[in-house]
Structure 1
Amino acid sequence: MFNRVSKLSKQAFVADASQTRGNLDVGSFESSLADAEAVQYVLASAAGIEQTTADRTTTIEPGPDTAAYAVVSNRRVYFLLGDDLAEPELTVDMEQISNVELRNALLSTTLVFSTTTGAVRFVPADTETAEVVVSYVSRVGKAWSDLFEALEKAHRSLASVESAIKAGEDPESAIQQTRTRLSNAHHCATHHDDAPTELMRDQIQPVEDRLEQLRYGSRLDRADGLIDDARRAQRSGAFADGVAAVVEATDVIRDVASVLHDVDAPGLSDRLTSQANTLDTVAQALLNEAERACHRALQAADDAAAIAAWQEALDRYREAAAAGWDGPAGASQEALRFQLAWVVGNLVDALVSRADEREAAAEEFGGTGSDAIGRYEEACRNLERARDLAEDHPELTAAPLEDRIGTLEVKIERAEWQWGSAD
């Protein structure tokens, strides 16, 4: 507490508010307060402290040569008595004060703190400083009262967030409502120049932390659902659905991870790590389907089988790239582009090889007749597919394929003419 506050004379309590703290050693008392709580004013009284509640009135009087003190901080009003400064006789939180006023009587002036449960009366030795206290407590007490009213509303909407999450409903509306009410609370903390903003924010922070914990917890619940969706899609062969679920789950997890260091949410970090690992496992299972198609293509016994396998791999990688796959299972967008180029190159090679084989087979029939024409046409279709792929990928050249197609079209026309002439 103070360094023997009881030794302080009434002369220490001056009318000039700017000197009120300067003439007192309040360091030891402030050391027992919260970090941002600070003594603003100190008043002394020889008349003691009177507390009135609904059913009784209690008077606490100082002993001989001692005084009663009203210590006003930016958070509470403490009523102390004589040498017994280890514990205040009474403590009134600012938000409990509904009104504060000076009541003038014939022989004395009484400072009255009206509260939600009664009143505390204190007869100050220095009425001029008491007037400053009335102004200060009125302003700051109102700020505290408004703050807790806003926080009470925020707690109610926070309960709605929890209820929505437990019911499996979308909590976004309740989240936005809670944010609005927390914004109102922040306004209370900054509206008055002498409002204890840091102390007030200490009251707001736990509610914000809980909201963020619920919000990001619900986001991770969403990620769990998406991972399950991706796993089911992969097992049922719905590759595109699986890819879409993986990409969305990745976005959710990244969103949570980007702000997790600012959120006081025990357990979320471990859960996030576990989810990311599970997601990578599911994502890898999906990519494995495309990789297996590549292996089948490389081991295919003929060009037709190779083309089918390369096309399957191409479809898989295209679906992943189109969905915005970037990172799951270590596959970045750049890696997917590289893989797509490799698959397309191999598919083009297989199509050209198949076209060569079909053209050669047509030549075995003498380049005329329905058998030859059918094989020429199949060769042409394979080259057209290869050309279209080459045109979509700048690393490939379509011109030579266009020339080949032109040559085959001439052969087809000649074969059809010769066949018709033969008939």
Structure 2
Amino acid sequence: MDGRTITSEPTGDQLAYLLATDRRILVFLGDQPSEPDVDIVYEIVVECRLDGRLLSKTLTVEAGNESVSFSPSDGDPGAVVEFVERMASHWQTLSMYLSNARDAVEKIESAATVSSYDVTCARKQISEARSVVDDVEDESTGAMTPYIETVEDEFEAARTDSMGQTIRDGLDRAEEALSVATEALEADEYRTACESYVETVDTLEQVSETLDGLDDRETLADRFAVCEDRARTLGDEFLAEAAAECDRAQAATNPETATEAWQSAFDRYRGAVAAGWNGQRGVTEAALEFQLVWVTAALIEQLDALAAAEEDRGDDTADDDAAEAHYDKAVDVLERMCDLAELHPSYSADAFAGRLERVRDKQLEATGWQWGSTGSEQ
């Protein structure tokens, strides 16, 4: 029927009827027709007009490439024209909003994660569609509501599915990162452990925000709670172990035990700071940095005493091999102190440079005696 003009005219005693409903324009031919001869929805109506003279009028509906003409002999054709024009305007506006909403829904369905922009856009367009109904005070828009509800249901289904998938993907990442953190802690790889822990917590925060907007959330909420509890436990235990190492260092009577404990505490706090720990389990980056400065100073002091003790042992022994071993240890400790001094605001590697050079000279001297002894035997 594209591009054609349809004229509805009865033949013989046949009657013709044009009916403008709240959804479409229908033309029936015959007294008891079972199906309309013409069925035009309002979305495609371009124009409805009344042509002709007072006693010979033609009602014409332009709809896309179709044109339907009807010559009324009864009723109020002027009222029909007004009604059709009004309904066409309402339905076309409604169709535009629902089409925009469906576009947003399709983006939600195809996206890897929920886009708050697309969700907001879909909601806004559905709200605008409802305003079309609200703006009409009569009952002629009753047929519009089911169309709106259908799109709204599609939106809620897409949003729920997308949010659910986003949450599942987030929990997958969080659980994987938490496993890495756990394994790294067992291997004393504290920076890796803390980086994975921070990633876990950050991911869980994102999941929590999405989870709050999901109505059917029981199963996913249980999985989230388990992961969150595991992460909380890991974070608390890490901090507790770092603090315990400080306590162990302070209580130690053996210098090597104290050094080992301070080193363990240093490695933990430095790993946390390097990983960007900030606010997890209520501990800020500033607090960790403050603790790291204190632990670094304590470790340097402990190493200082250890280096001095090894140098004294080297000085006091008459055995060149033993002296060399003690000086080797002292050099290693002093080099470690120089590295740590670069990390502390109150220390400088230059402060230990002279001492390190002195012990190295003693180290070479002890080695030289061994070479000399070997040569004399030959």
Pair in the same fold by TM > 0.5 = yes
Does structure 1 residue 361 correspond to structure 2 residue 309?
Answer: no
How far 1:363 sits from its partner (Å)? Answer: 2.0
Q: 2:142 aligns to what?
A: none
Asked whether 1:372 is paired with 2:333, we answer no
Within 5 Å, which residues of 2 pair with 1:83-232?
97-99=43-45, 101-104=48-51, 106-108=55-57, 110=59, 127=78, 137-156=87-106, 158-159=108-109, 171-172=112-113, 214-232=161-179
**Residues 356-409 of structure 1: per-residue CA shift (max 9 Å, x gap):** 21112112215x722112212211210110111111222334333223213323
Tell me if the contact between 2:182 and 2:193 (Cα under 8 Å) persists in the aligned partners: no
CA contact under 8 A between 2:307 and 2:330: conserved in structure 1? yes
- 2: distance between equivalents of 1:266 and 1:355? 64
1:383 to 324, 327, 334: 334
Indicate the larger mover: 313-322 or 250-259.
250-259
Distance 1:198 1:372 in 2: 96
The question of whether the paired residues in 2 share the 8 Å contact of 1:143 and 1:188 is answered with no
**Which consecutive residues of structure 1, in runs of 5 or more, have no partner in the other structure?**
1-46, 59-94, 162-170
**d(CA) in 2 for partners of 1:257 and 1:234?**
20
1:401 aligns with 2:337: no
Query: Matches of 2:96 and 2:346 in 1, distance apart?
Result: 67
Per the TM alignment, residue 179 of structure 1 is displaced from its structure 2 partner at its CA by 6.4
Aligned partners of 2:123 and 2:62: how far apart in 1? 24
Question: Aligned AA for 1:322?
Answer: A
Q: Distance in 2 between the 1:126 and 1:53 partners?
A: 14
Structure 1 residue corresponding to 2:258, chosen from 299, 306, 309: 306
Shift of 1:154: 4.5
Q: Give, in angstroms, the shift of residue 283 of structure 1.
A: 2.0
Instruction: Tell me the alpha carbon deviations over residues 229-249 of structure 1, each in whole angstroms, 9 at most, x when there is no partner.
Output: 355345542555543332223
Cα deviation for residue 355 of structure 1 reads 0.7
CA distance in 1, matches of 2:103, 2:227: 34
Change (3 A) 1:345 1:185: closer
* Whole-angstrom CA distance in 2 between matches of 1:184 and 1:328: 35
Question: Secondary structure of 2:347's match?
Answer: coil
Which residue of 340, 357, 363 corresponds with 1:412? 363
Tell me how many residue pairs correspond in the alignment. 318
SS in 1 for 2:44: strand
- Measure the CA separation in 2 of the matches of 1:349 and 1:205: 69
8 Å contact 1:153–1:181 — kept in the other structure?
Answer: no
Taking structure 1 as reference, are residues 327 and 265 closer, same or farther at Cα in structure 2, changes over 3 Å only? farther
Q: Distance in 1 between matches of 2:245 and 2:264?
A: 6
In the TM superposition, residue 205 of structure 1 has moved relative to its aligned partner by 7.8
CA distance, structure 1, for counterparts of residue 364 and residue 337 of structure 2:
21
Q: Which residue of 2 aligns with 1:65?
A: none
Q: Where is the helix percentage greater, Structure 1 or Structure 2?
A: 2
- State the secondary structure of the residue aligned to 1:407: helix
Contact 1:281 1:329 in 2 (8 A): no
TM-score, structure 2 length as denominator? Answer: 0.62
**TM-score, length of structure 1 as denominator length:** 0.57
Distance 1:207 1:142 in 2: 20
1:286 and 2:238 aligned: yes
Alpha-carbon RMSD:
4.9
One-letter amino acid of the structure 2 residue matched with residue 324 of structure 1: G
Alpha-carbon displacement from aligned partner over 1:92-121 (angstroms, at most 9, x marks no partner): xxx86432523546545658698xxxx9x9
Aligned residue for 2:345, secondary structure, equals: coil
Judge conservation of contact 1:306–1:350 (CA < 8 Å) in 2: yes
Change (3 A) 1:389 1:224: same
SS state at 2:49 partner? strand
Query: Distance in 2 between the 1:406 and 1:228 partners?
Result: 51
Q: Does 1:316 align with 2:268?
A: yes
Counterparts of 2:273 and 2:235 in 1: how far apart (Å)? 13
Matched letter for residue 382 of structure 1? V
Cα deviation, 1:302-348, whole Å, max 9, x if unaligned, reads 33333333333333333322222222222221122122222222221
How far residue 214 of structure 1 moved from its aligned partner, in angstroms, is 4.8
One-letter amino acid matched to 1:232: S
Does the Cα contact within 8 Å between 1:354 and 1:382 map onto a contact in 2?
Answer: yes
Instruction: Find the counterpart in structure 2 of residue 79 from structure 1.
Output: none
Question: Aligned to 2:198, which of 247, 250, 256?
Answer: 247
Contact 2:50-2:58 within 8 A present in 1 as well: yes
Aligned to 2:3: none
**Matching of residue 342 in structure 1 with residue 294 in structure 2:** yes
Identify which of 269, 281, 284 aligns with 1:329. Answer: 281
